[in-house]
């Protein structure tokens, strides 16, 4: 097996980050972290799908405003989302008229986009690239499970798709935080077929990618202030810790899951936690990046997690494969704290 | 506007390419170019979707066989397709257990995958990467338009989604053909809403990307043996030539469209031509790459074209945006024929 991790020689900077949320996200424990909260699930459009596009448009607009840049300063947008044909992204970013590379990684989209943008900047193929993604409770439920009006009862293992978006600008090394390394994940499929238990479908993929990162780099979980997964929720998080325990690796003390952080379990009735591309993206952009910037925390390993679930083939009896990509983000660049060579 | 084109400093090689087709593709004028023809639309599975996955699996298997490599020699697969959640790719490549970056670019997937694989190899982030894609007439029709059993009459502007797959290995500079430059396309949307006229939706995007390539590089269409678009078909190809005529650029003499090449218009009843990710991919892999390898042709500009069409938002009144990414593939590397600097 070839190493899956690449150290970035020039440690690009995350220049700016923006997080957008819906009402429920604003009411949660991270409510203060969002740049904008939308109280209207339609975001002043006529449909939920058009509403989701607004999340991405708002994320990119806030991102540019915060960084003092305009669209013409950006080389490429890497973006995707959960909607069929990734239309949240297509219609969200269309008006910026920027070169665009569409990606599909289900809820691990933010780490794929961040990894790609980082490699393009690190290698000199871009001066500044954006990674953006979103999810919306109302579009995801009707596409993946049932129309909301159906009023189906939610299973205890089910997670609440976040109505949220997040975006970052990756640019040449300038100021913290820096991207130090990326690990490209593999499709891992242990045969889960329950469309209401995404955490179980994704946990083995997170385990695979994180294990490979630790093996490739020689680092252990306690090197990081937080090993951050995307949206494993209660069940997937427990499974991840158990999988590492088999290898005598304690990830429990440093593991944080965005799906466990976004809502208040006691009052927000989200069953097994939050999910969706927008969950990992908004928690990264609104919560972790500001702390990495200020130096309050020094290193995170960000591994958003995706369930490559298709209602069509799921109904044909196929399982739900998972994938996870990891990005090491640090307050320190490669000169102040060099990498271990591999 | 920042330049959208990147010259590749180390001119990676296309080490190998494979094209897989269905019966109709085998019966067409390029039938001899395919590595494998499937007479059964189900590819010995129970559903068309599972069948489409087989196209990708076959493409990667033939690719590895032809190059004398195994999966463990590959760093990353870049892949995507037209199916919701890109499941043609997910289930097609799952068994190879390779690091995977999912992409979505509708029918321009092959040029996005080729561009990404080339940048990763050129920048030293991968020794060998695969780009793969597919499409299937029976899966695309029922997802985007009507179930086949409905027996709807096809509009004269409609194109026939190719049942085909294609895959390439991009590796460090070794032998021709070489990747010389890539241009990342923008979303271009002139307001076409007719789901049966993809050529018209995509032509402005092809024009935008090709124009930017010519502007960025100082090259003109006649430098290339062929300026190859993906699947504009009869209508889109005519529109593309007309758009360039407004700029006094003659692209007509050197323009080839894969959608015009795959089938025999006189006997195969395909209306405006072929389409689908597999169309551009299989014509590139089966027809153009062998000629670039042998030196029979020296340079092509490959610009697969995608219609970012979503039935959901199309039914909500939204238009069909287009996108196209371009890759310059040459028999010559950067030492034998240097680039013009920009």
Q: Is A316 at the interface with chain B, CB within 8 A?
A: yes
- pLDDT, chain A, mean: 96
Chain B residues near residue A310 by CB distance under 8 angstroms:
49, 83-85, 87, 90
A86 with B80: Cβ contact below 8 A: no
pLDDT score of B1: 72
pLDDT score of A339: 66
Res. A109: pLDDT tops 90 = yes
Q: How large is the average pLDDT for residues A12-33? A: 98
Q: How large is the average pLDDT for residues B286-291? A: 98
Domain match, A112 and A148 both:
yes
Q: Is A106 at the interface with chain B, CB within 8 A?
A: yes
pLDDT score of B337: 78
Using alpha carbons, select from B308, B88, B312, B162 the residue that is nearest to residue A312: B88
Output the domain CATH number for residue A146.
3.40.47.40
pLDDT tens for A315-337 read 999 999 999 999 999 999 988 87
A90 with B321: Cβ contact below 8 A: yes
Domain match, A198 and A61 both:
no
pTM: 0.98
Res. A48: pLDDT tops 50 = yes
For the CA atoms of B214, B207, B301, A116, what is the dihedral angle to 10 degrees? 90
Res. A340: pLDDT tops 60 = no
Q: How large is the average pLDDT for residues A268-278? A: 97
Q: Is A213 at the interface with chain B, CB within 8 A?
A: no
A312 with B120: Cβ contact below 8 A: no
Q: Can you read off the two tokens belonging to residue A276?
A: 């969706």
Say how many domains are in chain A: 2
The distance of A310 to chain B (nearest Cα, Å) reads 6
Q: Which residues contact B284 (CB under 8 A, 6 or more apart)?
A: B17, B110, B166, B168, B228, B258, B302, B304
Domain that holds residue A275: 178-330
Domain match, B286 and B271 both:
yes
Chain B residues near residue A93 by CB distance under 8 angstroms:
187
Domain match, A145 and A195 both:
no
The distance of A266 to chain B (nearest Cα, Å) reads 33
pLDDT tens for B215-262 read 999 999 999 999 999 999 999 999 999 999 999 999 999 999 999 999
The distance of B230 to chain A (nearest Cα, Å) reads 17
The answer to whether residue B337 sits within a structural domain is: no
Chain B residues near residue A325 by CB distance under 8 angstroms:
101
Domain match, A23 and A130 both:
yes
Using alpha carbons, select from B53, B51, B103 the residue that is nearest to residue B77: B103
pLDDT score of A342: 40
Write down which residue in A138, A171, A204 finishes a domain.
Answer: A171
Write down which residue in A171, A202, A217 finishes a domain.
Answer: A171
**3-class SS of residue A133:** strand
The distance of B24 to chain A (nearest Cα, Å) reads 25
Contact call for residues B167 and B131 (beta carbons, < 8 A): yes
The answer to whether residue A337 sits within a structural domain is: no
Say what the ipTM of the complex is.
0.97
Q: CA distances (Å), B79 to each of A252, B87, B114, B118, in order?
A: 34, 10, 9, 13
Domain match, A16 and A157 both:
yes
Chain A residues near residue B83 by CB distance under 8 angstroms:
310, 312
Res. A341: pLDDT tops 70 = no
A187 with B103: Cβ contact below 8 A: no
A116 with B116: Cβ contact below 8 A: yes
Q: Is A187 at the interface with chain B, CB within 8 A?
A: yes
pLDDT score of A334: 84
pLDDT tens for A122-132 read 999 999 999 99
Domain match, B141 and B205 both:
no
pLDDT score of B117: 98
pLDDT tens for A295-310 read 999 999 999 999 999 9
Write down which residue in B171, B204, B222 finishes a domain.
Answer: B171
pLDDT score of B342: 40
pLDDT more than 70, % of chain A:
99
Using alpha carbons, select from B224, B225, B256 the residue that is nearest to residue B240: B256
Bridge partners (DSSP) listed for residue B21: B37, B164
Domain match, B146 and B294 both:
no
**Per-residue H/E/C for chain B:** CCCCEEECCCCCEEEEEEEEEEHHHHHCCCHHHCCEEECCCCCCCCCHHHHHHHHHHHHHHHHHHHHCCCHHHCCEEEEEECCHHHHHHHHHHHHHCCEEEEECCHHHHHHHHHHHHHHHHHCCCCCEEEEEEEECHHHHHHHHCCCHHHCCCCCCCCCEECCEEEEEEEECCCCCCEEEEEECCECECCCCCCCCCHHHHHHHHHHHHHHHHHHHHCCCHHHCCEEEECCCHHHHHHHHHHHHHHCCCCCCCCEEEHHHHCCCCCCCCCCCCEECHHHHHHHHHHHHHHHHHHCCCCEEEEEEEEECCCHHHHHCCCCCCEEEEEEEEECCCCCCCCCCCC
State the Cα–Cα distance between residues B112 and B108, nearest whole angstrom: 6
The answer to whether residue B339 sits within a structural domain is: no
pLDDT tens for B103-154 read 999 999 999 999 999 999 999 999 999 999 999 999 999 999 988 899 888 9
Domain match, B116 and B156 both:
yes
The answer to whether residue A341 sits within a structural domain is: no
Chain A residues near residue B50 by CB distance under 8 angstroms:
313, 316, 318
The answer to whether residue B92 sits within a structural domain is: yes
Range A166-185 burial, b when 16+ CB lie within 10 A, else e: bbbbbbebeebbbbbbbbbb
Reported as a pLDDT band with limits 50, 70 and 90, residue A175 is: very high
Q: Is A339 at the interface with chain B, CB within 8 A?
A: no
Contact call for residues B69 and B85 (beta carbons, < 8 A): no
Q: How large is the average pLDDT for residues B319-334? A: 96
Reported as a pLDDT band with limits 50, 70 and 90, residue A152 is: confident
Q: Is B2 at the interface with chain A, CB within 8 A?
A: yes
Domain match, A111 and A88 both:
yes
Q: How large is the average pLDDT for residues A20-49? A: 98
The answer to whether residue A342 sits within a structural domain is: no
Domain match, A55 and A189 both:
no
Strands A299-307 and A322-330: antiparallel
B98 with A186: Cβ contact below 8 A: yes
The distance of B31 to chain A (nearest Cα, Å) reads 30
Q: Is A102 at the interface with chain B, CB within 8 A?
A: yes
Domain match, A17 and A162 both:
yes
């Amino acid at each position: 097996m070839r190493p899956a991790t690449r150290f970035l020689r020039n440690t690009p900077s995350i220049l700016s980050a923006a997080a957008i949320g819906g009402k429920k996200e604003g009411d949660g424990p991270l409510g203060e972290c969002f740049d904008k909260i939308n109280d209207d699930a339609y975001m002043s459009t006529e449909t939920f799908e058009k509403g989701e596009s607004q999340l991405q448009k708002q994320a990119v607009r806030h991102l540019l405003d915060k960084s003092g840049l305009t669209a013409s300063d950006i080389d490429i947008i890497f973006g995707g989302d959960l909607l069929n044909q990734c239309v949240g992204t297509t219609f969200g970013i269309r008006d910026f008229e920027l070169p665009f590379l569409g990606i599909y990684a289900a809820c691990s989209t933010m780490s794929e986009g961040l990894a790609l943008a980082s490699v393009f900047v690190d290698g000199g193929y871009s001066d500044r690239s954006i990674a953006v993604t979103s999810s919306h409770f109302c579009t995801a439920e009707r596409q993946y499970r049932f129309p909301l009006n159906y009023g189906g009862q939610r299973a205890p293992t089910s997670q609440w798709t976040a109505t949220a978006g997040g975006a970052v600008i990756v640019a040449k090394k300038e100021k913290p935080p820096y991207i130090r390394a990326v690990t490209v994940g593999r499709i891992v499929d242990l045969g889960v077929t329950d469309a209401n238990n995404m955490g179980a479908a994704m946990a083995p993929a997170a385990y695979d990618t994180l294990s490979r990162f630790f093996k490739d780099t020689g680092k252990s979980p306690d090197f990081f202030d937080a090993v951050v997964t995307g949206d494993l929720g209660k069940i997937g998080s427990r499974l991840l810790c158990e999988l590492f325990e088999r290898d005598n690796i304690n990830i429990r003390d440093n593991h944080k899951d965005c799906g466990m952080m976004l809502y208040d379990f006691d009052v927000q009735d989200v069953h097994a936690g939050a999910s969706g591309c927008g969950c990992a993206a908004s928690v990264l952009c609104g919560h972790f990046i500001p702390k990495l910037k200020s130096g309050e925390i020094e290193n995170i390993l960000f591994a958003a997690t995706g369930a490559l679930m298709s209602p069509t083939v799921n109904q044909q009896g196929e399982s739900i494969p998972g994938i996870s990509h990891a990005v090491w983000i640090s307050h320190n660049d490669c000169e102040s704290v060099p990498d271990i060579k591999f």
